Amino acid sequence: MSTRENTRAERSLCSSNIIRRIVNLPINIIEGISRAVGHGMALIGAGRRDHQQPHFQQPHFQQPQEALAVPEEWFFITNFEQQYGLSHPFFYACRFVEALKMAEQESKLLFLYLHLPEHPYTAPFCSGTLCSELVVQFLDANFVSWAAIANSGEGLHMTAALRAPTFPFCAIIMPASGDSIVILQQVEGPVSPAELVEILQLTIEEQSSAFRARAVEEETRRANRQVREEQDAAYRAALQMDREKEVIRELVIEEPAHIQQQVEAHKKENIQKPRKSPTTAKQSGSKAKETIKETQRKETVTPRTGPLVTQILIRFPNGERKEQSFLCTDKIQSIYRYIDSLDLPGIGSYHLISNFPRKVYGFEQMNMTLKDAGLHPSTSLFLELVE
């Protein structure tokens, strides 16, 4: 078997086995300590013998003087487009943790690319694979993409944290608990567009089942929590009703004796004073009747439940949640009016989205009923601010 066939067989074996490892993010990445683009330090020697790559002694990265004024978030994109043009995946110009948060909010995986301009495999990979229409369309449709210069700024810290053995280096990432990330798959060295898309597709297919299971689990927990809250509310209402009935029974038993005592007192007073009309007994009797009527009125009040009621759980950007009941015939506009009535600070222009599957309920959907919009009998919506 030839060297090229050996390399292909090895890559096929690697791509069929999803790599999973937990990586703790360094404090530089979490807090954004390293913000300026500076001269890179010598990293790892590029060539891995198991990929049959030639040994490459990495040179010192000398950035152009005009790049010193470019913010770090834009430095990679500016450098990349100067060499390879404007046709490339949409890389977010932001910090790594911000891109990771966007991927989590959109229920997508993060595609990371560490770019080392001087490596001999970088140019063919960028022009032939990363900028190909097949890869661009697939990444933009299914991933949140982020990239950086491998020996500068945040790219330098990510290279050290991920222990990138060679370049080009790509990784498929999802957030984990705390300040950790999960590396689901990594691609090292040159690959063709078809090979890269195959690896990306394989990872998505495996993780989609996990995303669905997580969504079902979250919905089950929410439904169970709602049932418990409804049961608690019903128990409290029944307990209050029992207390009110007990008060009424005490009034019915004690009130005649109380009235009789007042009548006897009036009789004694009438012996010494002119006789007056006995109104106290009537007032006490009317008080008991009013209490009974008030209790009956409360008992007729029922909670807003039934087959026509839609339960909406609204998640706000600050993590706060509010649940509200609507009729299934109410319109999307009713949810917006409810949110506006809360008068929450920091809430300006916004729209509502459902995360799984992602769907925006904006101005065009205002006159749709909750049932026609597919939100009945219950759903969760996320309030996303519009800048």
Q: Residues 5-28: pLDDT tens digits?
A: 444 444 444 443 445 788 888 777
pLDDT at 267: 64
Residue with tokens 């049959």: 52
pLDDT at 64: 46
pLDDT over threshold 50, residue 44: no
pLDDT over threshold 50, residue 38: no
23 and 125 co-located in one domain: yes
> CA 141, 134, 199, 23 torsion: positive or negative?
negative
79 and 186 co-located in one domain: yes
pLDDT at 300: 34
SS3 labels along the chain: CCHHHHHHHHHHHHHHCCCCEEEECCHHHHHCCCCCCCCCCCCCCCCCHHHCCCCCCCCCCCCCHHHHHCCHHHHHHHHHHHHHCCCCCCECCCCHHHHHHHHHHCCCEEEEEEECCCCCCHHHHHHHHHCCHHHHHHHHHHEEEEEEECCCHHHHHHHHHHCCCCCCEEEEEEECCCCEEEEEEEEECCCCHHHHHHHHHHHHHHHHHHHHHHHHHHHHHHHHHHHHHHHHHHHHHHHHHHHHHHHHHHHHHHHHHHHHHHHHHHHHHHHHCCCCCCCHHHHHHHHHHHHHHHHHHHHHCCCCCCCCEEEEEEECCCCCEEEEEEECCCEHHHHHHHHHHHCCCCCCCEEEEEECCEEEECHHHCCCECCCCCCCCEEEEEEEECC
222, part of any domain: no
pLDDT at 162: 93
pLDDT at 262: 67
- CA–CA distances in Å: residue 171 to residues 25, 150, 209, 266: 15, 13, 20, 94
313 and 207 co-located in one domain: no
The residue-averaged pLDDT of 194-203 equals 94
Q: What percent of the chain has pLDDT over 90?
A: 43
The residue-averaged pLDDT of 19-41 equals 62
Tens-digit pLDDT profile for residues 271-288: 655 544 555 545 555 665
pLDDT at 286: 61
204 and 321 co-located in one domain: no
349 and 212 co-located in one domain: no
Tens-digit pLDDT profile for residues 212-222: 666 667 777 88
pLDDT over threshold 70, residue 66: no
Instruction: Name which residue leads in pLDDT, 242 or 114.
Output: 114
Instruction: Name which residue leads in pLDDT, 146 or 305.
Output: 146
The residue-averaged pLDDT of 343-363 equals 86
pLDDT over threshold 50, residue 39: no
Full domain range(s) for residue 320: 309-385
The residue-averaged pLDDT of 49-59 equals 37
Q: What percent of the chain has pLDDT over 70?
A: 68
pLDDT at 273: 53
134, part of any domain: yes
Instruction: Name which residue leads in pLDDT, 304 or 142.
Output: 142
Strands 378-385 and 350-355: antiparallel
Name the CA radius of gyration of the chain, rounded: 34
Gap between the Cα atoms of 126 and 115, Å rounded: 9
257, part of any domain: no
pLDDT at 7: 46
pLDDT at 35: 43
240, part of any domain: no
pLDDT at 42: 33
The residue-averaged pLDDT of 171-179 equals 87
242, part of any domain: no
Name the domain count of the chain.
Answer: 2
206 and 313 co-located in one domain: no
Q: Among the three residues 216, 242, 270, which one is the final residue of a domain in this structure?
A: 216
Q: Identify the band that residue 254 occupies on the pLDDT scale cut at 50, 70 and 90.
A: low
Other CB atoms within a 10 A radius of the CB of residue 312 amount to 21
CATH number, position 161: 3.40.30.10
CATH number, position 343: 3.10.20.90
Q: Among the three residues 216, 241, 263, which one is the final residue of a domain in this structure?
A: 216
pLDDT at 334: 93
233, part of any domain: no
117, part of any domain: yes
Lowest mean pLDDT among 22-31, 35-44, 100-109, 222-231: 35-44
Mean pLDDT of the chain: 77
Tens-digit pLDDT profile for residues 285-343: 566 555 554 544 443 333 456 789 999 999 998 889 999 999 999 999 999 999 999 88
Q: Among the three residues 158, 183, 216, which one is the final residue of a domain in this structure?
A: 216
pLDDT over threshold 90, residue 208: no
Q: Identify the band that residue 257 occupies on the pLDDT scale cut at 50, 70 and 90.
A: low
269, part of any domain: no
Q: Which residues neighbour 88 within 8 Å (Cβ) at sequence distance 6 or greater? A: 80, 81, 126, 130, 131, 136
Amino acid letter for position 294: E
pLDDT over threshold 50, residue 50: no
Residue of 184, 146, 182, 149 lying closest to 167 (CA atoms):
149
33, exposed or middle or buried, with CB in 10 Å at 0-12, 13-18, 19+? exposed
pLDDT at 46: 32
Strand order in the sheet with 169-175: 21-24, 180-188, 169-175, 109-115, 143-149
Residue of 136, 133, 114 lying closest to 187 (CA atoms):
114
